[in-house]
Amino acid sequence: MNKPWLTGAGILTSAVLLTGCSSSPAGTQAKQNPDAPLELWIRTTPGGPGEAATIKLAGGFEKATGKKVKVTAIFDDFETKLQQRAAQKNLPDIVLNDVTQIGTMHSQGLLREIDLDKIKSSKDITAQGLASGKSVDGKQFGLPYSAQASALMIRKDWREKLGLKAPQTWDEFAAMAKAFTAKDPDGNGKQDTYGLAAPLSTKRGYASWYFSNFLWAAGGDFITESGQGKYKPSMTTPESVKAVQWFRDLGCKDKAIQPGSVTMDTPPTNETFEAGKTGMYVVGPYLIPRFDKSLGKDKYEVVPMPKGPKDATVLAEGGSVYLMAGSDNQAGQDAFADYAVSAEGQKLGMQGTEGYIVQLPVNKTVDISTVRPDPRWKTYSDIYSASGRYAPSIPNWTPVRQTTAETINALVADCGLDTGAKLKELDAKLKAVLEEQGIAAS
């Protein structure tokens, strides 16, 4: 969720969108002009490295095809501004947005379906990446151009000082967390360190986002598909309950999660790791450049998450190319999407130490080591391929994430709450969310 080129997205809820786009998507029958310049929006900070990286990618596309692209970076009020353009039936041609926004954008009629036969490089996209671009109806409405997955960052110097090995199981993970908390790994004679850095704020659903890495590895789930695009809540299954209780014990019993975690999103949590207050952090690769500078690459290491009760499944995320409805240059839209996922576009997008738009390549023909020889990036790439899992492409994932975050946050904040009772309440809330979206299993 905290990426250098893309920082999440909110919910588009305006009825204007629904009436303006769903029944007749913003000028779908626009007269085509294959020479028309393309307008591309990306949700990132204007003037920042994300905008510069996007402009570089657009420049590579223009050089390869001769087609012009105007890049607009918007961070504040991105959704509101997209609403306004939708109401005018004048959407940008292309939007680069978070992969989890496919459900919301599709259900509001903002997107046109992608014909993979016109995207020659689509055959080279990873299977889970391509699947992430399918909506709940099974049609392709997004095309991933960048991926990421979670790995475990460990203070290597702490681990070696205490004579520990990188954890391979949850028991070893918990043991390391407790040791980093109680055994003075920094040698300052004070008990002022903690085992695990965890952003468990309810803001933007951070607690749920982070916890998913543990929930899925235990065989649990937030919601489970029961067939034909229908879902049921799953937070009261034995696997989910076990994952919640185990994670909660790290904070409530072992006191191994940093103080104040329930009020922290990623920025202050990042600071606890680089300031030497926490020793483990489950996070994506985007923090490597930062921590190399602030902490020193010799002080920490990147390893795969230890195997949970089921496996080592971790959260996969990334950015997708969305082709917006009503464009007068659909051929240009297709060409840009194809370039973004091509080997050439992927390599260009990965260039740079901070200002890059592609974190992990989604194109199977691209070896990340040829662009980034640092083996830690290869570790992340291998984890994504072997263990990465995207959130499901339901009409709106945001309320599922937010609702579960509120419960996980409460259970860690108040150790006196009854786990089973709170998860039962959560399942009831999730059922209502699914019913509201018309995807609840009967």
pLDDT tens, residue by residue, 208-258:
999 999 999 999 999 999 988 899 999 999 999 999 999 999 999 999 999
* Spatial distance between the Cα atoms of 347 and 378, rounded to a whole number of angstroms: 14
What does the pLDDT read at residue 24? 40
User: pLDDT category, 9, cuts 50, 70, 90?
Assistant: very low
What does the pLDDT read at residue 1? 55
* Spatial distance between the Cα atoms of 100 and 89, rounded to a whole number of angstroms: 24
Instruction: Report residue 74 as tokens.
Output: 């918007």
pLDDT tens, residue by residue, 184-207:
999 999 999 999 999 999 999 999
The answer to whether residue 18 scores a pLDDT higher than 80 is no
* Spatial distance between the Cα atoms of 276 and 306, rounded to a whole number of angstroms: 22
The answer to whether residue 19 scores a pLDDT higher than 80 is no
pTM of structure: 0.92
Instruction: Report residue 232 as tokens.
Output: 């049921």
Backbone dihedral angles phi then psi of residue 159, each to the nearest 5 degrees = -60, -45
pLDDT tens, residue by residue, 261-319:
999 999 999 999 999 999 999 999 999 999 999 999 999 999 999 999 999 999 999 99
pLDDT tens, residue by residue, 377-414:
999 999 999 999 999 999 999 999 999 999 999 999 99
What does the pLDDT read at residue 352? 86
With beta carbons less than 8 A apart as the criterion, state whether 87 and 17 touch. Answer: yes
Which amino acid belongs to residue 136?
Answer: V
- Span 29-42, mean pLDDT? 94
Instruction: Report residue 22 as tokens.
Output: 């769903």
pLDDT tens, residue by residue, 320-363:
999 999 999 999 999 999 999 999 999 999 998 878 999 999 99
Nearest to 55 by CA among 70, 43, 45, 65: 70
* Spatial distance between the Cα atoms of 219 and 308, rounded to a whole number of angstroms: 8
Instruction: Report residue 86 as tokens.
Output: 């939708």
User: pLDDT category, 79, cuts 50, 70, 90?
Assistant: confident
* Spatial distance between the Cα atoms of 186 and 278, rounded to a whole number of angstroms: 10
pLDDT tens, residue by residue, 45-65:
999 999 999 999 999 999 999
Instruction: Report residue 40 as tokens.
Output: 């591309």
- Span 82-105, mean pLDDT? 95
Nearest to 338 by CA among 143, 67, 147: 143
- Residue 313, CA distances (Å) to 168, 387, 389, 397, 429 in order: 13, 5, 7, 19, 25
* Spatial distance between the Cα atoms of 60 and 63, rounded to a whole number of angstroms: 5
What does the pLDDT read at residue 355? 81
- Span 86-103, mean pLDDT? 95
Which amino acid belongs to residue 101?
Answer: Q
* Spatial distance between the Cα atoms of 153 and 428, rounded to a whole number of angstroms: 35
Which amino acid belongs to residue 214?
Answer: F
* Spatial distance between the Cα atoms of 98 and 319, rounded to a whole number of angstroms: 5
pLDDT tens, residue by residue, 123-160:
999 999 999 999 988 999 999 999 999 999 999 999 99
What does the pLDDT read at residue 25? 47
| Domains, the chain, ordered by start | 15-149+316-389 (3.40.190.10), 151-315+396-436 (3.40.190.10)
